[in-house]
Each structure stands twice: as C-alpha cells, then as structure tokens.
Amino acid sequence: LVPEEYGGDTIFVKISAKFGQNVDELLEMILLQAEVLELKANPDVPARGSVIEARLDKGRGPVATVLVQQGTMRVGDPIVVGNTYGRVRTMTNERGIELAEALPATPVQITGINEVPQAGDRFIVMADEKTARAAGEERAKRAQEAIRNSGSVVTLDTLFSTMSEKAMKTVPVIVKADVQGSVEALSGSLK
C-alpha cells in the first residue's frame, strides 16, 4: 500500500479512537472513497451476502452472523448458506435487538438454518423454501462428492506404517473451538 503523499492511491488517516482524534476525518474519507468507487447496493432485490462467523448455540441451534451486501433480508425468507439451507427464523443486530428486515451493509445474527456454515460462505435468499432446499442439498451433495474423490481413507494401521517409514511430515490434529472463525485461525497457524 502506497499512501497518497508518496504518489500512491491509498488514503491514510492518523486516528486515535482512545482520544477521539480525527475520527470525523476518517469517516469523511470512507464516504469519499465510497463515492469514488461508486459503491451502491440495490435494496429491492433478494438478499445476498457473506457469513462473517457461525456457531452452534445450545438453545437456538446454528447461529450465523452475516453481512447483507445486496438486497433486503426479512424474517421468514428461505435462504441458502454455503452447503446448507433454512428459513430465517430470527434476526438480531449487534445489540441483540430483534429486527424484521436487514438492509444492505447491515450485519445481523440469524437463526433457522439447518447446519453451522463456514465463515466466508456466501448466502442468497431464494424465492421459496422448496427451491432453497433443492439448492442446499445439491451444494451439500457436490461437497460430499468432492471430499469422496479427494483421496484415500486413512486408517490407524496406514498412519503408523507411514510414520514408521518417516514419509509422513504432518500429524493429523482435531481442532475444537467456540466459533468457526477461531477454527480457521487455529488451523491456519498450525499449517
């Protein structure tokens, strides 16, 4: 990244959130950049966006924090998220207040999906639940086939024989964490 002062095209703003310095200038620069890049979203189309984080809540089931990037998401909308599907049962903002709809650029927590999606998965609101179910099942089927075709099954015997031949340079590890983003961060640091 090269700052504008040195001939680059990246805007830098020195701020201190602790002391409240230049926060207004930062917000102005963000709005300026949005105008220059013509960042616009249509709220009148079916919602689509990305999963920021997901977890399994004991009382509510799978909970996904999503960012609506296009369209408007409403409670009751059939949705396909990654390899799973469902119907938006509840939608809450960052303060825990229940919402009836979420406009573009709104992060919300949703419940009602069948499985916990992966962080980074894309979501799209479908016309009806039947279409959402078919799309979700098709995506899950393709993912299973990709896993099945990816390689051979590792058994304990083959693992020990490979280790004894010193051909194995990695050790399989199971990572458990509270949210999917933590799993990805830990997995990345272990690699």
pLDDT in tens, 31-89: 888 888 887 888 888 899 999 999 998 889 999 999 999 999 999 999 999 888 899 99
Say if CB 89 and CB 124 are below 8 A apart.
no
Lowest-confidence region among 22-36, 98-112, 128-142: 128-142
Tell me how crowded residue 80 is: count the other CB atoms within 10 A of its CB. 26
Bridge partner residues of 92 (DSSP):
98, 109
Parallel, antiparallel or unpaired: strands 78-81 and 48-57: unpaired
Strands, E, within 72-159: which ranges?
73-74, 78-81, 84-92, 101-102, 106-113, 122-125
Residue 165: the pLDDT is: 64
Is the pLDDT assigned to residue 170 strictly greater than 70?
no
Separation CA 70–CA 24 (nearest Å): 27
